[in-house]
């Protein structure tokens, strides 16, 4: 059966305000991203002009360097200085973007995972209209993950841990999840493999954060502090992932005890959240 909606201490007015604020912030984020893409597309339209300018400038430079009698005119100095100033004014330098470190993909996925988690927790399955909208949203996010090759990205990130058995465990878990779609008897085994992967992943993070092999005590807060390299924003995002870890651990543990028709849906939801948890966490702590 679908998970029950949890009660909380917030008032209906608070709940509506939180939702309105979140929608407003997401609309602002959406507008920013669309504007950025529009600006990039507009910049692309002037690339041929910039390339032509560069070609002419390279010719000018080569000529002055190789022909001693050219380049002594005082007016030329004034003209080149003016051209350079005008170029820099009309064509400000764009920032140099790097594929890594680039945390937008990881932090955006973190917020999407939070929405996904809240969605599967708070669906009112008694309301047909809401149920249809929720299922449509779940299917859309699944399609987004597939299009973004989330499983391939997670595998690549796990390889950064340089621990072969974790990579092997991920591959094995993925196979169990796929097999469970056609064989319900493998759902429990898949859930068990997912929980093992979750626990081993946390263990590797803790090992990475330890100062030395003799340090035994470690917790998520200490790990987040050490692996964030002094970046308060990253540390906060890592601390939020502790909540994602705890929820996954509970959900998978419960799934191992359950026997009902909704198990396959719950297993799939947990797999989606596990992929996002690993993707976000490793993406935040690795800078290269």
Q: 3-state DSSP helix/strand/coil percent for the chain, to nearest 5?
A: 75, 0, 25
Shared domain for 148 and 280, answered yes or no, is: yes
Q: Is residue 13 part of a domain?
A: no
Shared domain for 81 and 123, answered yes or no, is: no
Q: What percent of the chain has a predicted confidence (pLDDT) above 90?
A: 37
- Render pLDDT for 7-27 as a digit per residue (tens, 0 to 9): 456 677 777 778 888 899 899
Shared domain for 73 and 177, answered yes or no, is: no
Last residue of a domain, one of 56, 90, 124: 90
| pLDDT beyond 60 at 41 | yes
Shared domain for 72 and 185, answered yes or no, is: no
| pLDDT beyond 70 at 126 | no
Distance CA 152, CA 282 (A): 14
Among residues 171, 169, 192, 161, the alpha carbon closest in space to that of 267 is found at 192
CA angle, 142 then 271 then 210, to 5° = 125
Last residue of a domain, one of 90, 117, 142: 90
- Structural domain range at position 246: 99-285
Q: Is residue 20 part of a domain?
A: no
Residue 264: C-alpha distances to residues 16, 194, 270 (Å): 32, 13, 10
| Bond into 101 cis (ω within 30) | yes
Shared domain for 82 and 169, answered yes or no, is: no
- Render pLDDT for 189-211 as a digit per residue (tens, 0 to 9): 999 999 999 999 999 999 999 98
pLDDT of residue 1: 44
- Dihedral sign for Cα 277, 282, 284, 288, please: negative
Shared domain for 58 and 116, answered yes or no, is: no
Among residues 86, 84, 91, the alpha carbon closest in space to that of 42 is found at 91
- Render pLDDT for 47-106 as a digit per residue (tens, 0 to 9): 999 999 999 899 889 988 888 888 888 888 888 898 899 889 989 998 877 654 455 566
Shared domain for 237 and 109, answered yes or no, is: yes
Last residue of a domain, one of 38, 65, 90: 90
Q: What's the DSSP call for residue 69?
A: T
Shared domain for 116 and 213, answered yes or no, is: yes
Average pLDDT, integer, range 160-188: 91
| pLDDT beyond 80 at 125 | no
pTM of structure: 0.78
Number of domains within the chain:
2
| Residue labelled with tokens 């056609």 | 182
Q: Is residue 32 part of a domain?
A: no
Q: Is residue 184 part of a domain?
A: yes
| pLDDT beyond 90 at 171 | yes
Q: What's the DSSP call for residue 98?
A: -
Shared domain for 150 and 51, answered yes or no, is: no
Shared domain for 70 and 157, answered yes or no, is: no
Shared domain for 193 and 211, answered yes or no, is: yes
């Amino acid at each position: 059966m679908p998970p029950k909606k949890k009660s909380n201490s917030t008032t209906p007015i608070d709940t509506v305000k939180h939702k309105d604020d979140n929608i407003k912030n997401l609309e602002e984020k959406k507008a920013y991203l669309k504007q950025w893409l529009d600006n990039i597309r507009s910049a692309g339209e002037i690339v041929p002009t910039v390339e032509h300018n560069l070609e002419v400038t390279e010719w000018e430079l080569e000529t002055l360097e190789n022909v001693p009698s050219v380049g002594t005119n005082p007016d030329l100095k004034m003209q080149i200085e003016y051209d350079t100033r005008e170029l820099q004014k009309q064509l400000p330098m764009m920032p140099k973007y790097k594929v890594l470190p680039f945390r937008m993909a990881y932090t955006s996925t973190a917020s999407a995972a939070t929405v996904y988690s809240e969605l599967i927790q708070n669906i009112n399955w008694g309301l047909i209209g809401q149920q249809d909208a929720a299922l449509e949203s779940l299917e859309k996010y699944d399609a987004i993950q597939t299009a973004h090759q989330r499983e391939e990205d997670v595998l690549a990130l796990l390889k950064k841990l340089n621990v072969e058995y974790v990579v092997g465990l991920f591959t094995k878990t993925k196979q169990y999840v796929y097999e469970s779609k056609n064989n319900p008897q493998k759902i429990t085994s898949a859930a068990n493999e997912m929980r093992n992967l979750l626990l081993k992943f946390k263990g590797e993070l803790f090992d990475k954060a330890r100062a030395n092999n003799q340090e035994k005590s470690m917790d998520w807060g200490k790990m987040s502090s050490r692996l964030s390299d002094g970046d308060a924003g990253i540390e906060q995002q890592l601390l939020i992932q502790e909540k994602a870890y705890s929820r996954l651990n509970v959900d998978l543990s419960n799934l191992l005890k359950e026997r009902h028709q909704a198990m396959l849906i719950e297993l799939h939801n947990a797999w989606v959240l596990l992929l996002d948890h690993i993707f976000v966490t490793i993406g935040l702590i690795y800078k290269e």
